[in-house]
Amino acid sequence: MTDNVFSAHGLTEEEYTRILGLIDRAPNYLELALFGVMWSEHCSYKNSKAQLRKFPTSGENIVQGPGENAGVVRLDRGATVGGDLCAAFKMESHNHPSAIEPYQGAATGVGGIIRDIFAMGARPVALLDSIRFGTLSSSRNAELLRGVVKGVGDYGNCMGIPTVGGETVFHDSYSGNPLVNAMCVGLVHEAHIFKGRASGVGNVVMLVGARTGRDGIKGASFASEELSDSDPDKRPNVQVGDPFMEKLLLEASLEVLEADLVVGIQDLGAAGLTSSGAEMAGRAGSGVCIDIDKIPLRETGMEPWEIMLSESQERMLMVVEPSKVDHIAAVFEKWDLAASAIGEVTGDGNFTIKRGAEILASIPAKFLTDDAPVNVRPYSEPEYFRKLSNADLSITRNSNDIPALLLRLIATPNIASKRFVYRQYDSTVGVRTVVRPGGDAAVMRLPGTEKGMALSVDCNARYVYLNPRRGGAIAVAEAARNVACTGARPLAITNCLNFGNPEKPEIYWQFVQATDGMAEACEAFNTPVTGGNVSFYNEYDGVAIYPTPTIGMVGVIDDVAKAVTIGFKHQGDAVLLVGETLDELGASELHYMLTGRDEGAVPRLDFAAEKALHSFLINTAPLLASAHDCSDGGVIVTIVESAAVGGLGVSLKWRWENLSPAAALFSESQSRAVISVEQKNLPAVLDALSALPYTMLGTVGGDRVSIEYNGAALVNCPLSDLTNAWRSGLEAAL
Amino acid sequence: MRAAVVVFPGSNCDRDALRAAELAGFDVRFVWHKESAVDGFDLIVLPGGFSFGDYLRTGAIARWSPIMSDVVRQAERGVMVLGICNGFQILTEAGLLPGVLLRNKGLLFLSEDVALRVENASTAFTSAYKRGQTIRLPIAHGDGNYYVDAEGLKRLEGEGRVVFRYADEPPNGALNGIAGIINERGNVLGMMPHPERHCEDILGSHDGKGVFESLMKDGVPK
């Protein structure tokens, strides 16, 4: 066999030698194709596994950690029939397909993550997205934004799963390689959780849903390469989505799961039938034998390797007892879907593909799922790290004309309202959405209880680039803070780790540092990692994206009717800033706006201060009229957003030592939130603040935003001017 | 009072409609689109969603579902029929209501709360409201741009059959700001906004309850 043959499957010579050693013979073409996709980065996590082991993955509320279709966290103990109420949740990337074909790439990314959730037996109830593009000065980036948003919207809207939150970020490091991360959350009672296990020798393997075609072949390998100019040729690697088919598949699957007709279930995602079959066998320690002649095909003349590697969407694999096959087929028939018995569970531990009586491939499933090499890549600190952290920020610190800066900053696409995006997402279908998009976190009510769950996705990639360890920790802290601002207790995270080529030591350094920072923060906040996804090779023409470990956080609130929102509520309420403001304009939106440069020291993060803020927000929630986290753009952006959303002005007046006006308003110090409080509740709130740093800023009221700082009038603008600039900024940039 | 919520493949507001009708006091059942009869109900709801994936044209395939010939028959008998969003689109395709729902002006899917004016509060669907009252309901659709020919429009407006109208500039471009209409007999109503999503204060408003409460009180065939 020439090296061209194994490299065509994305395998290295070293990996090929490893395969020879494992199976003690030369693999045939089909077998090599199976190894190629199963040992791709996308399926095997070979370059990240060692590092991911550092994450905390267990805790009193963690019902299912990493390794299944999705993680599961307990929301409510014992209050409901069928066991504790749990959330199944996971986030995944679909970056490379979206770079080539934004609409289908984003749509199938959403479709894939939804299947992961209902494969756990959970009914999907919420979607969130985290999408990133190059700046909108390029029309291609605007086109990508429109296509991705339409793709996310059309899929979720048709499924009837509300898209309740997300983030939209613009930075030129994503030009050519946009990021599309989608998170789905479902509800399930603990006793009804299903797993992706092929147990019970003699049980039948059924393929249900759409027919298998040539689309998306080798998508997993494509996801594990860098992008370049020649990529329009890769369009055949992109899958095509059919949300109507998936809606039928969802209802039919939940119907057979609820009737307890299924032993194990898994969705077909990256690497299609190969990964789902091999993984289900691998987890159960059993074998799976598939007869390729029994797979319903959409087109003729498909080769066995094409059938096994196809990533046709809207398919699920089920393992069922032989006596249940007819019942399952009848349920799928009702929904006009195919359900075909294509193989059986065996006791030999092998993943076997046959055509009639002829064996085409037979490999121990564990070799495919567990024996990919675990690479600990060499890493080294990139040159930029020390250089950029020592940048001179005096221009920004000493900048004047605050009103003009403010009007410009709130209209930049990163700060401006994302209404253009979330208006295209149905956020209210399902009658569970209590806090809709546009706040710090979405809040959903939970059936059969007073409780609710809060959901947020976050990452400030500029921080991660400039200081990966601190930036990774801040991403977790901000997601937790967003959840806490609604009054909810952060419980657990999922993640999408988007990085460049891990074979480059500087990129691998970013990866190790960022995940170390995340692990430390997850420990500190007691929010274990229940799973996620690693997306490497996010590069375009050799230039990597900013390291972007997106965090998806789930929290629980005891009384959903008391969920706190960001808008100011009543004239005369007191406005306070909780937390300490330092001179931290490094890596800030303002510095970037003024200089076009990402540089300076990333704001400090003190876990104890952050946790104290969360506790305050959670315990005092019933007394707060509003709460809004301070993040990009500093406290002034937080204040303007609360005013714009509430439709109420503010009159603020305070003094701080040693901070220039620009630093006071635009510093991005962590662990802060702006709250508003009815006067009657103020004494109790101040009491709760006794051990925390805070500043009395002023009161809600009027139709202007007026700010007097250290005796000087800095801002006195009509709220309507600020609101218009903030509301129209994104669309104006399009 | 008994209500049926018809479930088409791709319906996705069926559970929401069931909940809203139950909150108002209806005894509610789902009825699968392959059934041939929807007998013995006081109210038939065609819920929102993407029946048959909106393929071909919204509502165009659902209109041929086996259940629909009986829905038409029940409507002719005077049973109350409420079509919400995709249900409205199906009612126009089935010929139970005039006009058509075109792509939104601007071609984007729109999800937001809108202000509606109750133009006719003397129907069985709106008796709990006051004429001229403004209510807020969510919209969530890509094809809500109501259109009817000049003659049809004259009749709708002249006969007081425009029941709900967007209080502000219609976001979807609907002709005359039409958000919901009723048939001549007064027992078939179609509307693009979602009353079933605003029946509980925890969801932001209970402005939609009036539709189901009106039907509980006045939705008996006369």
- The per-residue pLDDT for A403 is 95
pLDDT at A1: 46
pLDDT at position A237 is: 63
Q: Three-class SS string for A99-140?
A: HHCHHHHHHHHHHHHHHHHHCCCCEEEEEEEEEEECCCCCHH
Cβ contact, residue pair B202, A158, below 8 Å:
no
Residues of B with active-site annotation:
85, 194, 196
The string of pLDDT tens digits covering residues A24-58 is: 999 999 999 999 999 998 889 999 999 999 999 99
Sign of the dihedral through C-alpha B72, B75, B77, B80: positive
**End-to-end C-alpha distance for chain A, whole angstroms:** 53
Minimum-distance CB partner of A427 among B9, B111, B196: B111
Nearest CA in chain B to A334: B34
Decide: helix, strand or coil at residue B162.
strand
B35 to chain A, any CB pair closer than 8 A? The answer is: no
Confirm if A208 and A252 have CB atoms less than 8 A apart: yes
Q: What share of chain B is helix, strand, coil (3-state, %, to 5)?
A: 30, 30, 45
For this structure, is A94 an active site residue?
yes
CB contact under 8 A, B112 and A423: yes
Helices and strands (H, E) in chain A, number of each type: 27, 28
Residue found under tokens 């030009």: A175
Q: Which pLDDT band, with edges at 50, 70 and 90, does A239 fall under?
A: confident
Sheet containing B188-191: order of strands: B27-32, B2-7, B43-46, B80-84, B188-191, B178-182, B162-166, B110-118, B134-141
At A215 the pLDDT is 81
Question: Taking residues A709-728, what's their average pLDDT?
Answer: 97
- Classify residue A710 as exposed, middle or buried by CB count within 10 Å of its CB (0-12, 13-18, 19+): middle
Question: Which residues from B are below 8 Å from A445, CB to CB?
Answer: 202
- Any A CB within 8 A of B194 CB: yes
Distance from CA of B185 to the nearest CA of A (A): 31
Q: Tell me the nearest-neighbour CA distance from B26 into chain A, angstroms.
A: 18
Count of alpha carbons within 13 angstroms of residue A396, beta-carbon side: 30
Inform me whether the C-beta atom of residue B205 falls under 8 Å from chain A C-beta atoms: no
Q: Domain spanning A397-416+564-734: which superfamily? A: PurM-like C-terminal domain (3.90.650.10)
Per CB-CB distance under 8 Å, the chain A contacts of B105 are none
Question: What are the strands of the beta sheet with A62-64, ordered from one edge?
Answer: A62-64, A71-76, A85-93, A179-189, A123-133, A163-170
For residue B194, the chain A residues in CB contact (below 8 A) are 428
Tell me how far apart the alpha carbons of residues A205 and A431 are, in angstroms, rounded to a whole number. Answer: 36
pLDDT grade for A546, boundaries at 50, 70 and 90: very high
- Span A447-473, mean pLDDT? 96
Amino acid identity at A70: A
The chain B residue lying nearest A151, using CA atoms, is B109
Distances in Å between the alpha carbon of B167 and those of A275, B113, B118, B131? Answer: 54, 12, 9, 13
pLDDT digits (tens, 9 = 90+) for A287-322: 999 999 999 999 999 999 999 999 899 999 999 999
> How many angstroms separate the Cα of A306 from the Cα of each of A32, A271, A272, A294, A718?
13, 10, 10, 15, 63
Residue B136's pLDDT is: 98
Determine the pLDDT at residue A10: 87
| SS3 call for A653 | strand
Tens of pLDDT, residue by residue over B86-144, are 999 999 999 999 999 999 999 999 999 999 999 999 999 999 999 999 999 999 999 99
**Tokens standing for residue A9:** 């499957």
Tokens 């800023």 correspond to what residue?
A697
pLDDT tens digits, A186-234 = 999 999 999 999 999 999 999 999 999 988 776 666 666 776 665 555 5
φ, ψ dihedrals at B22, nearest 5°: -65, -40
Distance of alpha carbon B106 from alpha carbon A397, whole angstroms: 43
**Which position has the higher pLDDT, A433 or A82?**
A433
Contact residues, chain A, for B112 at CB < 8 Å: 423
Does A327 qualify as catalytic in the annotation? Answer: no
* Cβ contact, residue pair B53, A425, below 8 Å: no
Q: Do B140 and A245 touch (CB under 8 A)?
A: no
Per-residue confidence band for A7, with pLDDT thresholds at 50, 70 and 90: confident
Please spell the DSSP secondary structure of A484-511, one letter per residue. HHTTPEEEEEEEEEE-S-TTSHHHHHHH
Selected residue of B16, B85, B109 to mutate for chain A interface (largest A Cβ count, 10 A): B109
**Angstroms from A314 CA to nearest CA on chain B:** 14
| pLDDT confidence of residue A226 | 74
Cβ within 8 Å, pair A243-B50? yes
B112-115's contacts with Cβ under 8 Å and 24+ in sequence apart are: B112/A423, B112/B138, B112/B139, B112/B171, B113/B137, B113/B138, B113/B139, B113/B204, B113/B205, B114/B138, B114/B139, B114/B166, B114/B167, B114/B168, B114/B171, B114/B179, B114/B193, B115/B166, B115/B167, B115/B168
Q: Which fold has domain A1-39+194-372?
A: Phosphoribosyl-aminoimidazole Synthetase; Chain A, domain 2 (3.90.650)
Question: How much is the mean pLDDT over chain A?
Answer: 94
- Name the residue among A129, A123, A96, A95 with its Cα closest to residue A110: A129
Measure A297 CA to nearest chain B CA, in Å: 22
* B111 CA: distance to closest CA in chain A (Å): 5
For residue A92, pLDDT beyond 60: yes
Per-residue pLDDT tens digits for B135-189: 999 999 999 999 999 999 999 999 999 999 999 999 999 999 999 999 999 999 9
Same CATH fold, A397-416+564-734 and A1-39+194-372?
yes
Helix intervals (H) in A577-733 = 589-595, 607-620, 635-646, 661-666, 682-688, 719-733
| CA triple A640-A644-A648, angle to 5 deg | 100
Q: Is the pLDDT confidence value at A537 over 80?
A: yes
State the best of A123, A125, A157, A418 to mutate against chain B, taking most chain B CBs within 10 Å. Answer: A157
- Asked if A282 and A366 touch (Cβ cutoff 8 Å), the reply is yes
The pTM of the full predicted model, rounded to 2 decimals, is 0.96
| Confidence (pLDDT) at A236 | 56
Contact criterion met (CB < 8 Å) for B9 and A248: yes
Min Cα–Cα distance to chain A from B154, Å? 33
* pLDDT of amino acid A214: 87
Domain spans of chain B, in order of start: 2-218
- Which member of B52, B109, B142 has the closest CB to residue A244? B52
A110, A123, A244: which to substitute to probe chain B, counting the most B Cβ within 10 Å? A244
- Taking the Cβ of residue B53 and every Cβ of chain A, the question of whether any pair is shorter than 8 Å is answered with yes
B194 Cα to chain A: minimum distance (Å): 9
* Domain regions of chain A by residue span: 1-39+194-372, 397-416+564-734
List pLDDT tens digits, range A595-646.
999 999 999 999 999 999 999 999 999 999 999 999 999 999 999 999 999 9
Q: State the average pLDDT for chain B.
A: 97
Residue ranges of chain A whose CB lies within 8 Å of a chain B CB: 150, 153-154, 157-160, 242-245, 247-248, 334-336, 422-431, 433-434, 436, 445, 560-561
Choosing from A9, A94, A171, A591, the catalytic residue is: A94
In angstroms, what CA-CA distances link A360 with A121, A310, A321, A366?
33, 17, 26, 18
> Which numeric CATH code is attached to B2-218?
3.40.50.880
Tell me if B109 and A153 make a contact (CB, 8 A cut-off).
yes
Question: Measured between alpha carbons, how far is A73 from A120 in angstroms, rounded to an integer?
Answer: 12
Q: Does B167 touch chain A (CB under 8 A)?
A: no
* Residue A81, C-beta contacts closer than 8 angstroms, at least 6 positions apart: A189, A448
Question: Count of CB contacts below 8 A, A vs B?
Answer: 87
Of B13, B34, B204, Cβ closest to residue A160: B13
| Residue of A42, A591, A614, A628 marked active site | A42
